[in-house]
Amino acid sequence: MTASLTQTREPSPAPSLQPTGWLRYLSFSLDHKVIGLQYIVCGFLFYFVGGALAGVIRTELATPISDFVSREVYNQVLTLHGTVMIFLWIVPVVNGGFGNYLIPFYVGARDMAFPRLNAVAFWMIPPSGLLLISSYFVHGGAAQSGWTAYPPLSLTTPATGQILWILSVLLLGGSSIFGGINFIATIVKFRQPGLKLMMLPMYCWAMLGTSILVVLATPVLAGTLILLSLDIVAHTGFFNPGLGGNVVVYQHLFWFYSHPAVYIMVLPAFGLVSEILPVHARKPLFGYVTMVYSIMAIVILGLIVWAHHMFTSGTPPWMRLFFTIATAFIAVPTGIKFFNWIATLWQGRLALTTAMLFSCAFIIQFVFGGITGVALAQVPFDVHVHDTYFVVGHFHYIVYGGTVFVIFASIYHWYPKFTGRLLNEPLGQLHLLLTVIGFNLCFAPQHWLGLNGMPRRVAEYDPSFTVVNQISSVGALMMAISTLPFLINVIGSAFRGPRAGDNPWRALTPEWLTTSPPPVENWRGAPPLVKEPYGYGHSGNPIDLQTARGRDLWTSQP
């Protein structure tokens, strides 16, 4: 079946018709590596937009009154910030970016299963982002209902901006669905002969689980937003309480997607960090089988925990009990991964590279976010801190601490593969230091604010919270400054960085068993059949990596 699919896959255009050099990254390329980098670069551009919006938010919150922007503009900025960071930065980069670049290597394929669908999925993102940002300049301004778009608020704010928000999110959802279908087909049907599922690198399993969530949950969000748009434009009554609609039904439908969306962001990060740690610890990934099962458990449980966001929405006691138990259970497979990562590091030959340090920082931040998440699963505590800054702090420890730290770790790890050059380690460690300090200074105090009753999503607050908010704003400024050494490093190293060679980390996974950067068809010759991608420390004679390329078996430690 794999062979027949490969043979019937749509042919690529003649090489002479394809742009070369930097122009190929601005073209409708069918090369999965080019598309992966297009996702990553485009995502970073929107990251800077979302970061600038976050700067506006924290500048406004440095004082207890609305003196930097008006309340309406603050609501618009808040809505755009959340939407940009989730749908235009994190989801495209950890899924489409690294997924497109790495998955064909990991399954031994020359490209994704559907190259044209792959390119279409990416090219839906830039116009979606521009449509979203342009809504700020239309009459009435951008949407003001937050990234959740709860009715009746989303029904009473300026309609044009809200409709543009819905159209943008629908396009981005379609892009995610196309990508999810492509990843499932590639991982399940495009593996080279002899490569079994339980031989795949962990990132393949993470992307398989993520893609299942995307395909199952994203259409629910799409249908919900279409109904919401009908309420706005055609004055139907699906969610409009004035016309007999039910706003709680919207919450159920929205969170059926939007809680799995957390795992759509976090599961690929789990997979990426599981690829980085064994390489820089020179040890096999501990508990491979349990990690696979824990990913699948997260996929199943992730679909049945959505209503813990709704404990204050008139949820009946039996439903509260069920979702409290389900939310507590999902901490178990997540905890398994934490202990597996610690066991992978234990007694390893640790190389304290920037990629390794960012990965370790991720573990610390994410565990703290997980602890506060278990606390929020308990109904009495959740009722107390619901819609306060405690939830904002928790959310950012999960989403920023759990994904953005891994994105940076992955850039430092795979940059030599992308460009053939090494990044500057001192600049990378400066970037890490500023990011860790700024992140914790920004979001740790927000838990205290929430415990003491400061509501989220408002521009004004009690003056007694001023000092803590100013501390948080200083942390946000440090996070903004941290991007400067990163940009200097990434741009400067592309032209003047030291040559990396084909495999500077002496890794065993297939993407490192070819040239850096790789050729168009990934390998010059037959793809290597890697049966033990984490075979560090196994007994046997050392094998030169340069002569291992193209072999049918790879089990020895370099």
How much is the average pLDDT of 304-321? 93
Q: Residue 455 gets which letter from DSSP? A: B
The pLDDT of residue 332 is 94
Does the pLDDT at position 1 exceed 80?
no
Q: Which two tokens stand for residue 77?
A: 């900025």
The pLDDT of residue 376 is 95
How much is the average pLDDT of 301-325? 93
How much is the average pLDDT of 278-285? 95
165 contact partners, CB below 8 Å, separation of at least 6? 79, 83, 132, 135, 142, 143, 149
Does the pLDDT at position 126 exceed 60?
yes
The pLDDT of residue 19 is 72
Does the pLDDT at position 96 exceed 80?
yes
| Contact indicator for 141, 72 with CB cutoff of 8 Å | yes
Does the pLDDT at position 64 exceed 50?
yes
The model's confidence at residue 17, banded by pLDDT at 50, 70 and 90, is low
Does the pLDDT at position 212 exceed 60?
yes
How much is the average pLDDT of 280-295? 96
| Contact indicator for 358, 431 with CB cutoff of 8 Å | no
Does the pLDDT at position 201 exceed 90?
yes
Q: What is the DSSP string of 409-447?
A: HHHHHHHHHHHSBPPPHHHHHHHHHHHHHHHHHHHHHHH
How much is the average pLDDT of 519-529? 91
The pLDDT of residue 413 is 98
| Cα–Cα distance for residue pair 132/81, rounded to 1 Å | 11
Instruction: Give 557 or 431, the one with higher predicted confidence.
Output: 431
What are the distances in angstroms from CA 265 to CA 4, 213, 371, 375, 383? 33, 11, 18, 21, 26
Does the pLDDT at position 403 exceed 50?
yes
The pLDDT of residue 24 is 79
Does the pLDDT at position 399 exceed 50?
yes
The pLDDT of residue 540 is 40
Q: Which long-range contacts (CB under 8 A, 24 or more apart) does 206-209 make?
A: 206/267, 206/268, 206/270, 206/271, 206/272, 206/274, 206/295, 207/95, 207/99, 207/103, 207/183, 207/267, 207/268, 207/271, 208/183, 208/184, 209/263, 209/267, 209/295, 209/296, 209/298, 209/299
How much is the average pLDDT of 41-62? 97
* pLDDT single digits (tens) 334-382: 999 999 999 999 999 999 999 999 999 999 999 999 999 999 999 999 9
Does the pLDDT at position 139 exceed 90?
no
CATH superfamily, domain at 29-555: Cytochrome c oxidase-like, subunit I domain (1.20.210.10)
| Cα–Cα distance for residue pair 40/47, rounded to 1 Å | 10
Q: Which two tokens stand for residue 136?
A: 């700020």
The pLDDT of residue 525 is 87
Mean pLDDT of the chain: 91
Whole-model pTM: value is: 0.92
The pLDDT of residue 538 is 55
Does the pLDDT at position 544 exceed 60?
no
The pLDDT of residue 26 is 84
Instruction: Give 553 or 219, the one with higher predicted confidence.
Output: 219
Listed ranges 24-28, 312-316, 403-407; the one with the highest mean pLDDT = 403-407
| Cα–Cα distance for residue pair 256/252, rounded to 1 Å | 6
The model's confidence at residue 18, banded by pLDDT at 50, 70 and 90, is low
Of 20-34, 115-129, 232-246, which gets the smallest average pLDDT?
20-34
How much is the average pLDDT of 407-434? 97
Residue boundaries of the structural domains of the chain: 29-555
